[in-house]
Amino acid sequence: MLILDPALVRRAQALMEKAKKEGVPIHDIVAQTLLSEAEEREEAADESIPIHIDVHDQFRAFIRQLQQLDGLPKANVPPSFHGTLRPYQQRGVDWLVFLRRFGFGACLADDMGLGKTVQLLAYLTYVKEMERPDTPALLICPTSVIGNWQKECARFTPDLRVYVHHGPNRAKNDAFLQAAGEADLVITSYNLAHLDQDDLKQIHWHAICLDEAQNIKNAQTKQARAIRRLSGKHKIALSGTPVENRLGELWSIFHFLNPGYLGSRAEFERRFAGPIEKEGDARKKAALQALIRPFLLRRTKTDEAVALNLPDKLEQKEYCPLTAEQAALYEQLVNDTLERAKEASPFARRGLILQMLNGVKQICDHPALYLKERRPRQLVERSHKLEKLIELIEQIRANDESCLIFTQYVRMGEMIQQLLSDLFDERVLFLHGGVPKQTRDRMVEEFQARKAPIFLLSLKAGGTGLNLTAANHVIHFDRWWNPAVENQATDRAYRIGQTKFVHVHKLITVGTIEEKIDEMLEQKQALADIITEGEAWITELSDDELRDLLALSAAAKGGA
């Protein structure tokens, strides 16, 4: 293993500067060196790289270093990062910092659950402390995970000043420049990266980071083109699935990260995509792997070095914003109920409040569930929670893994079942109270035999007594406020006989009663009440206490 020394780094930098002055693209130097390292000399010659470059031994050593993770200089993450990195996560941060030093874009493609978010936040903390950049970093992500990023920033990097550029009241023009200028990190969505590109282009970001970077897999979309026009010192793409269907998706991500490195789209199709996808050309595949390996880091849960550092079970909260429709329905229901409760008898008041609690839970899941729509339209667009569920399932299926999805509502389960069956073109099992025992037993057998990898269960029907160890993902679509009930459901997969790491996802709508109850459970407040009485304790709260508990946060209103 090669250990990089400072003198080697300086010589490599000098060579890069010289190449720049002579008009030789640094990407060509790297590409030629990597291809020859992969013993593809004949093929490299066939590809007619524009100029033959005399690559120094020192530069070859530098390129080899790009491929040797363990030998990278350690980036000592400052104490302002409130977390402990696992060894493989520290190496990920080292890699990001190393590539930043030389101006190369990076695609962090670790498997879901291995902490891509944590690694990026540690990197941003390091850069803030060590470089003191004049401008903020920009993070572009799906709308459904903006709340998640806010929460993770507050948890791991509380000193990082975050501006969320989202919602109808977001800052524009000079107000945007002022808000961004006062932040260390600006978070926005893919949609706004296109709509607000004129504002975003005004800043030379110290880093531009794409979460779920497969969102730019089609290079010709307005979003992808707008994002490529942004200016930044360092570009990072996070994606658990950098290639979902075709190699052209990989080219699009690399075209953002390191423009020109894989040639034009047409050149890439001719040199790599065509021969690999149509002819199964092994030499071309090896050459492409050699080219991308230094700039794409992917670890999976089955990697020996990773598995040694993983717990048996990881619980992760996925925070989802409300849509405008959900926010309006939520506020209307709360206000109407509290108004009616003022005049009601104590007994009638309790009934009104329990009815309202059920209603707000349904609204947080999906407006169509609350409105009792028989044939709901625009199913995905109306609930970011549903959007997030689809993103999770896409990654789970891309890794050929299986999952359990729990919901309290049979109608919600039916909507999810139909949607996932259509999207993924495979059978989705749904076990609820109306399923006969014989059918139930058959469903369990099919799932355990991996004949149907997605298993939906209503919490009451599937929460106990089943052994479903074929699943290594458990998704709680809505929250049961008794943690013991949730844990029993999770234990369908996390039990004796489970040989895989189990990843538990809990979907929570931001700024709603779901988030507030979750915080109470975390802080152990009212825990005994919730466990013994379910929701009954809420009915005893005063009107003001109820309003505080149920009021939408400013962030939830603004985001919607």
Do 261 and 400 fall into the same domain?
no
Evaluate whether residue 452 is within a structural domain: yes
Q: Is the pLDDT of residue 187 over 80?
A: yes
Q: Give the Å distances, CA to CA, from 433 to 18, 410, 486, 488.
A: 72, 9, 17, 17
Label residue 260 left, alpha or beta by phi (over 0 means left) and psi (-120 to 50 means alpha): left
Instruction: Work out the percent of the chain whose per-residue pLDDT is above 90.
Output: 49
- The pLDDT assigned to 463 comes to 58
Query: Looking at residues 254-277, what average pLDDT do you find?
Result: 89
On average, the pLDDT of the chain sits at: 84
Listed residues 67, 87, 108: the one ending a domain:
67
Query: Looking at residues 535-557, what average pLDDT do you find?
Result: 80
Q: What is the DSSP letter of 525?
A: T
Evaluate whether residue 74 is within a structural domain: no
Query: Looking at residues 413-441, what average pLDDT do you find?
Result: 92
Do 262 and 325 fall into the same domain?
no
Do 174 and 245 fall into the same domain?
yes
Confidence grade of residue 13 (pLDDT, cut at 50, 70, 90): low
Which is more confidently placed, 64 or 248? 248
Do 302 and 396 fall into the same domain?
no
**For the ranges 284-288, 327-331, 462-466, 477-481, which has the lowest average pLDDT?**
462-466
For the ranges 7-11, 411-415, 476-480, the maximum mean pLDDT occurs at 411-415
Evaluate whether residue 53 is within a structural domain: yes
Confidence grade of residue 161 (pLDDT, cut at 50, 70, 90): very high
Which is more confidently placed, 176 or 462? 176
Residue 163 in 3-state DSSP?
strand
- The pLDDT assigned to 42 comes to 41
Query: Looking at residues 238-267, what average pLDDT do you find?
Result: 86
Query: Looking at residues 174-187, what average pLDDT do you find?
Result: 96
Do 155 and 234 fall into the same domain?
yes
Cα torsion at 148, 151, 154, 156 (round to 10°)? -60
- The pLDDT assigned to 28 comes to 63
Evaluate whether residue 72 is within a structural domain: no
Evaluate whether residue 218 is within a structural domain: yes
* DSSP bridge pairs for 106: 236
- The pLDDT assigned to 123 comes to 98
Q: Is the pLDDT of residue 44 over 50?
A: no
Q: Is the pLDDT of residue 372 over 60?
A: yes
Listed residues 15, 32, 67: the one ending a domain:
67
Residue 440 in 3-state DSSP?
helix
List the domain range (segments joined by +) for residue 529: 314-559
pLDDT digits (tens, 9 = 90+) for 193-215: 999 999 999 999 999 999 999 89
Query: Looking at residues 512-541, what average pLDDT do you find?
Result: 70
Evaluate whether residue 391 is within a structural domain: yes
Do 256 and 331 fall into the same domain?
no
Q: With the C-alpha atoms ordered 346, 349, 355, 358, is the resulting torsion angle positive or negative?
A: negative
* DSSP bridge pairs for 207: 137
Do 343 and 444 fall into the same domain?
yes
**For the ranges 162-166, 303-307, 443-447, which has the lowest average pLDDT?**
303-307
Do 117 and 226 fall into the same domain?
yes
Evaluate whether residue 548 is within a structural domain: yes
Instruction: Work out the percent of the chain whose per-residue pLDDT is above 70.
Output: 82
Do 187 and 140 fall into the same domain?
yes
Name 176's Cβ contacts closer than 8 Å, sequence gap at least 6: 165, 170, 196, 199, 202
CATH assignment at residue 102: 3.40.50.10810
Listed residues 251, 286, 306: the one ending a domain:
306
- The pLDDT assigned to 260 comes to 85
Q: How many domains does the chain have?
A: 3
- The pLDDT assigned to 73 comes to 85
Do 48 and 85 fall into the same domain?
no
Confidence grade of residue 43 (pLDDT, cut at 50, 70, 90): very low
Q: Is the pLDDT of residue 184 over 50?
A: yes
Do 42 and 129 fall into the same domain?
no
Do 297 and 324 fall into the same domain?
no
Tokens representing 471?
A: 């699943």
- The pLDDT assigned to 226 comes to 94
Query: Looking at residues 29-47, what average pLDDT do you find?
Result: 53
